[in-house]
Amino acid sequence: MIAWNSDTARHLLARCLFGYTRSDVSKALSYSSIGDFVSKELLADIPQPTPVNSWVTETPIANNGAVNSLRYKELTTWWLNRMLTENTSMQEKMVLFWHNHFVSDRVKVSYPQHMYQQNALFRMHAFGDFRQFTKDVTINPAMLIYLDGQRSNKNAPNENYGRELMELFTLGIGNYTETDVKEAALALTGWSVNGLNAVFTKSNFADKTKTFLGKTGNFTYTDIVDIILTKDAAAEFICRKLYKEFVFYIPNEPFVRQMASVFRSANYSIRAVLQFLLTSDEFFKPEYRGAKIKSPAELVIGTLKFLGITKPDFEYIADTSAMLQQYLFLPPNVAGWPGQRNWISSNTYPARAGYSDSLVNGRKGNGQSLSFKVLPLDFARSYTSAEDAPLFVKDVIAQLLIILPSGMKEKLLLDTLLDGTIAANWSTNTPMADVRIQKLLKAVMRLPEFQLT
């Protein structure tokens, strides 16, 4: 029986959201069980957000590069704001997960309208029917452009999407042949992009018999997806990826097979397999807590949440995420961001500390002022322990770090706050208390433990 307490709640929130607040923890614990919280909050259906701007419904115009660049910037900051204001739904976490699964990018998909459509599609299907989701992605304009489906016809079938559909999106290498790729390409012909819409032209479709994964018929794209999902490898492939994202980067294969069984039994309901995963003993094993390196999106948004910053400069946040190697709408390649240890390098690790410092200082690394920063006294006084230095330090650590630091590190953090005085003399009303709080926050967020979730 999994204990439902502040530790398990923080672990669940840390993995399923882009950071969390103390009120998020309280809200989670107001539910009587993990299952209730997962089903009624994390996996709840919520309304589609207001579109980023009216331009999302405008027909794309050629040679509009400068305008499209500005619109992509607006789209990126809009999505980051969605992440910051997600409350306790993991919808936006799943939108990013699917963006990194069914990959396309802003360089090849030059019109932001198409990328917005795809982002909305990911949101609509975030917890839904994976079968229909895959079919919809297949003829999504952004995907047709990115993997050259729009240039595929019966006389020159393009194999790019058919290959990635099996290799990266559903089955994995070793579960199909080159013949399957060629036959899938024939079944995927006939689609193109006209303005905002995907259009099927029957005369461009390879209207003939195909043999694909052992089945024979005059297959279309929907048949291809249905045949793929008859293979056990498909459910295991998706569940393995979910496991690596939300539990640990080295999958427990027997548990992945359990997930896959649930996934197939639920007719490929994403919600059903997430409910199973997030309430399992496997998910809450102590050895997995703090064993995942925060992605740049998790870091930049989660730090804002922790510090109580609700109205940041999202352009700065977007630039920071890109500098940390997660440029939203621009994954490195069709395989997406590899994550985990790839997030940390000799360049990105100090840049992460520079970002958290900037939120405390209210200044970028180059000294330029930010339009926002944490208010140290207000921050400290939001804790009931604010006037008790040792307890305040413990509370900040408990809120900020999934893996608690050693006793020696905790003492160093307390010494940082006290700055030469004794605990009995500490008060948020003493001179320079705000500076001491700033030093404490910077020190905590510079710990290696802060990079883990």
What pLDDT does 63 receive?
85
What pLDDT does 1 receive?
83
Residue 443 has pLDDT above 90, yes or no: yes
Give the rounded percent of residues in the chain with a pLDDT score beyond 70: 100
Residue 89 has pLDDT above 90, yes or no: yes
Q: Is 318 exposed, middle or buried (0-12, 13-18, 19+ CB in 10 A)?
A: buried
Radius of gyration of the chain (CA): 24
Q: Give the burial string for 62-82 (b: 16+ CB within 10 Å, else e).
A: eeeeeebeebbebbbbbbbbb
Distance of alpha carbon 143 from alpha carbon 103, whole angstroms: 8
Query: What is the overall mean pLDDT for the chain?
Result: 97
Model confidence at 211, pLDDT cuts 50, 70, 90, reads very high
Domain ranges of the chain: 375-453
Mean pLDDT value of segment 320-335: 98
Residue 199 has pLDDT above 90, yes or no: yes
Q: Are 126 and 98 in contact (CB under 8 A)?
A: yes
Residue 198 has pLDDT above 90, yes or no: yes
DSSP string over 229-292 = TTSHHHHHHHHHHHHHHHT-SS--HHHHHHHHHHHHHTTSBHHHHHHHHHTSTTTT-GGGTT-S
What pLDDT does 353 receive?
97
Count other C-beta atoms under 10 Å from residue 250's C-beta. Answer: 10
Q: What is the pLDDT of residues 271-293, one digit of tens each?
A: 999 999 999 999 999 999 999 99
Name the residue with higher pLDDT: 165 or 61. 165
Count other C-beta atoms under 10 Å from residue 256's C-beta. Answer: 23
Distance of alpha carbon 57 from alpha carbon 50, whole angstroms: 13
Q: Are 105 and 147 in contact (CB under 8 A)?
A: no
Distance of alpha carbon 171 from alpha carbon 181, whole angstroms: 12
Whether the pTM exceeds 0.95: the reply is yes
Q: What is the pLDDT of residues 17-28, one digit of tens each?
A: 999 999 999 999
Mean pLDDT value of segment 45-67: 93
Q: Phi, psi (5° rounding) for residue 407? A: -60, -35
Q: What is the pLDDT of residues 229-267, one digit of tens each?
A: 999 999 999 999 999 999 999 999 999 999 999 999 999
Residue 64 has pLDDT above 90, yes or no: no
**212 - beta bridge partners?**
215
Mean pLDDT value of segment 372-393: 97
Q: What is the pLDDT of residues 221-236, one digit of tens each?
A: 999 999 999 999 999 9
Count other C-beta atoms under 10 Å from residue 339's C-beta. Answer: 16
What pLDDT does 418 receive?
97
Q: Is 28 exposed, middle or buried (0-12, 13-18, 19+ CB in 10 A)?
A: buried
